[in-house]
Amino acid sequence: MRHAIFSSNPSSSWYFSHGSGTSSFELAVVREHMDNYDFSELTGLVVDDSRFMRQCLEQLLRALSVGEVITAQNGFEAYDQCARHNPDFVFTDWDMEFQDGPTFVKRIRTDPESPNPFMPVIMLTGYAEHRRVLQARDFGVTEFVVKPISAGVVYKRLVALVDQPRPFVNSGAGYFGPCRRRIELAEYGCSNRRIQKPYEFEAAL
């Protein structure tokens, strides 16, 4: 049984299924355009209560040459992993038991003891409603990805974090997080930079 977590079309995406390994068609295409990027010094955190999903995304990030990938089953574990490892970016699912993705993001952004309130966070969800996009933006996520996801989408999100780090906003009215003027990128530049922590603030909308 093929899972719908990743797009199942091998001509356009990276896909996983039990016992059959992976299709590397799109990954090979993506790698052709990776010459200007080096993710080998980055540490990524994958947060999902599905072991299968964690393994899939971990394998994909490693295939994209991310240097270290750590995992967590829920928001509580994710926060502890952030404190221990201070990852360069986080992919977190929305719906999880014990502590969901939005609660984890709020804690990272606002907890006085947060290891890094500026941490880039990419929210994953199976729901594409406009309401969800707006909620994710207001929670303080950096990027928003709707499942099924592909190697190309994950790669573009990593490039966005490297090339176009979003300035942070402190509205003074309850919001702290990335500037909410942009939730997705249309273009991606090219450079070989490590993720910069965006300690730049601008006025809230």
Q: What is the pLDDT of residues 107-164, one digit of tens each?
A: 999 999 999 999 999 999 887 778 777 877 888 889 888 888 888 889 989 998 888 8
Q: Name the band, by pLDDT with cuts 50, 70 and 90, for residue 30.
A: low
Sign of CA dihedral 62, 64, 66, 70: negative
pTM of the model: 0.74
For position 198, what pLDDT does the model report?
Answer: 37
For position 163, what pLDDT does the model report?
Answer: 87
Domain boundary assignment for the chain: 25-202
Number of helices (H), then strands (E), belonging to the chain: the values are 6, 8
Cβ-proximal residues to 134 (8 Å cutoff; 6+ apart), any chain: none
- CA distances to 39, 57, 72 from 65, rounded to whole Å, are 6, 13, 20
E strand or H helix at 62, and its extent? helix 51-63
Q: In this structure, are residues 139 and 177 in contact, taking their beta carbons and an 8 Å threshold?
A: yes
For tokens 């994909």, the residue is: 60
CA–CA gap between residue 83 and residue 75 (Å, rounded): 12
Q: What is 25-202's CATH number, 3.30.420.340, 3.40.50.300, 1.10.3470.10, 3.40.50.2300?
A: 3.40.50.2300
